[in-house]
Chain A
Amino acid sequence: MLKKFLAMRIIHLLLVLIGISFLSFFLANIASVDPAEAYVRRMSRTADEEMIAQYREEFGFNQSIPRQYLSWVKNVVQFDFGNSYISGRPAMLEVVSALPHTLALSLLACLLILLLAVPLGVASATHPGRLADKLISGFSFVAISVPGYSLGLLLLLVFGVNLKIMPVVGHGHPLSLLCGAVVLAFPMIGMLSRLLRALLLENLNSDYVIYAKARGISKRNVMRNHLLRTAAPACITMYGQNIGYLIAGTAIVETIFSTPGLGQYALNAAINRDFPVINAYIVLMAFCFILCNTTAEIFGMLLNPAWNKESA
């Protein structure tokens, strides 16, 4: 059962990557700027027709589109995306080397989400309607409505300008990392705690909870073994799906707290229209994203007893 699912997922991944490669290639070819020309103009001030033609030949831009696509695919399979227009180094290498900082931010954010969202959701569901619930619900609402850059600037203001315990420019300070992770994690904390609360409350009156209460199971165990266990699959699925967003959405945080990472790097590549890097970026992110989603789905499935090996 599991193998079949995995096999389907891999095929799905391949189909999607093909689709993305079509897209990326297609867009590059209807872009208003001729890549050869863009490259040459960037490399030297004096660009003449001869140089452009030479580069066009070198990079193969004068071949027919299908042949260009095929040669591109051939390179991609060997992880060769060409060299960055800006730095000249291999595109994939550049992208991957910018990854660690981003991963640090994202993982820290993941941790924060787990540590905060679960207790908040539980606290809010155990006494619905009371003050704690209202406060937490209000907080969750704010968390999903606040723009990340606003929160980030606010933190930078408070800790960097007013309290002066964090550098406003320049990275490396642990507080920068922490603040960045908080900003990243904030909306997810709101969403996850709300989801958890909704699921817990929904199941509060279900038959098996009533039976558990009738059997004298303690309040703590009812929450732990019954309510949380049935709420877990959906929460884990949402959590896993959003890890992908966390890795991808660090651009704003990195800009505010001046931490170098994939977000800023990709942003620069986009502004400078560094095609090879952009291509490498897309493929890498697609891979990460689908990996995270699939893992989350597998976890969700494992927890769902309907998928477990038959015992009948």
Chain B
Amino acid sequence: MTRLKVKSAAVLGLVLITFMVFAALFAGVVSPNDPMKINLDDRFAPASSQYPLGADSYGRCIASRLLHGARYSLGIAALVMCGIVATTIPIGMAATYKGGYAERIFLWMCDISMALPPTVLVLAIMGIMGNGLANLVFSSMFSYWGWYGRMVRSYTMTEMSKGYVIYAITGGTSPVKVLGKHILPNIIPGLLVLFSLGIGDTILMISGYSFLGIGLSGAVPEWGAMLNEAKSMLLQAPRFAVYPGICVFLTVCAFNLFGEGLRSAFALTGKGVEYD
């Protein structure tokens, strides 16, 4: 009974994710209108065949903006997570394996990254280095790097203490092979869960920053930024505040469902995953 529930949750999540990715990839094709095109005649237009969800305060098609927004929200979050994955896994595993000073320095780096709440770090880095997408991505990556680094280290340490790894090491297997062939496949399930759930969190954070006006510039159809505009329109057109929020919510739900489903599935099959 639990298996069925787990499967359906993960599947639902996956379906939603696919939908969102599809929207992001094919937004240009599927959108009814140009998301950036301003039509001052059609300001605040209600839902119609031309504007499926109506038009915003500049006469831009809301539905098109939402679809294109998927690109930004998903894309940036994916970029950040890929950056984190690509760096924490090799560095974390290598540092943990080597031990000694390498591990100490690694932990120190993680601690610095975790010493400040992400918002503070991002504000600080953006403030010092200036606005812009690249800086946003870099600062987001840096603010979460430490946490993921520690998790990679903790999983690696767990595996390293297990029999088969000790066996391989004493048998003379090269470190690279031990890490790549033995340890990596066994920490991947746990890390997969973490990263799936992490994308959801990252989307929330990135869209939050856009809402505050950090990172992306005004006209971009990112969901958070759209809500920023909606805030000033709250009295005239309250419905503007609803759509982008639903999009973010659904996307984050999708990744969370998928991640949780994975976690339960791995727990059932015996690959224990640390509950953070």
Contact = CB atoms under 8 A, between A and B. Distances in A.
A157 B234 contact: yes
Interface string A13-37: 0011001100110011011110000
Given A273-B130, A286-B116, A290-B115, A252 B208 contact: yes
DSSP majority for the A interface? helix
Interface of A: 12, 15-16, 19-20, 23-24, 27-28, 30-33, 141-142, 144-150, 153-154, 156-157, 160-162, 168, 195, 198, 244-245, 247-249, 251-252, 255-256, 263, 266-267, 269-271, 273-275, 278, 281-282, 285-286, 289-290
A273 B126 CA distance: 8
B128 A153 contact: no
Contacts of B253: 141-142, 145
Closest 10 pairs (CB-CB, A-B)? A150-B245, A270-B127, A248-B117, A19-B112, A145-B252, A153-B241, A278-B127, A270-B123, A27-B128, A16-B115
Contacts of B175: none
A289 B128 contact: no
A245 B115 CA distance: 11
Interface string B206-239: 0110011110000000001001001100110010
B89 to A, nearest CB: 23
DSSP majority for the B interface? helix
B235 A168 contact: yes
A295 to B, nearest CB: 15
Given A266-B123, A267-B123, A274-B127, A147 B117 contact: no
Contacts of B249: 145-147, 150
Nearest to A250: B119
Given A145-B200, A244-B117, A252 B212 contact: yes
A271 B231 CA distance: 19
Contacts of A256: 231
Interface string B115-154: 1110110011111111100000000000000000000000
Given A147-B249, A154-B241, A251-B123, 12 more contacts: A19-B115, A147-B204, A147-B224, A150-B241, A150-B249, A153-B245, A161-B235, A271-B127, A273-B130, A275-B128, A278-B124, A285-B120
A144 B108 CA distance: 30
Contact of B119 (A144, A249, A290): A249
A270 B124 contact: yes
Contacts of B120: 248, 266, 281-282, 285-286, 289
A241 to B, nearest CB: 10
Contacts of B246: 150
B6 to A, nearest CB: 14
B256 interface: yes
B159 interface: no
Given A271-B131, A282-B124, A248 B234 contact: no
Given A154-B245, A245-B117, A281-B123, A149 B129 contact: no
B256 A144 contact: yes
A147 B252 contact: yes
A190 to B, nearest CB: 10
Contacts of B235: 161, 168
Given A141-B256, A289-B116, A147 B241 contact: no
Given A145-B200, A153-B234, A285-B117, A278 B112 contact: no
B42 interface: no
A94 to B, nearest CB: 14
B112 A16 contact: yes
A248 B245 contact: no
Interface string B239-263: 0011011101100110010001000
B101 interface: no
Contacts of B214: 267, 270-271
Interface string B189-217: 00000000000100010011001111000
B139 to A, nearest CB: 10
Contact of A31 (B111, B115, B129, B242): B129
**For B130, B211, B214, which residue has the most chain A Cβ atoms within 10 angstroms?**
B211
B231 A153 contact: yes
A12 B212 contact: no
Given A145-B249, A147-B248, A248-B116, A24 B238 contact: no
Given A16-B115, A153-B227, A285-B117, A147 B127 contact: no
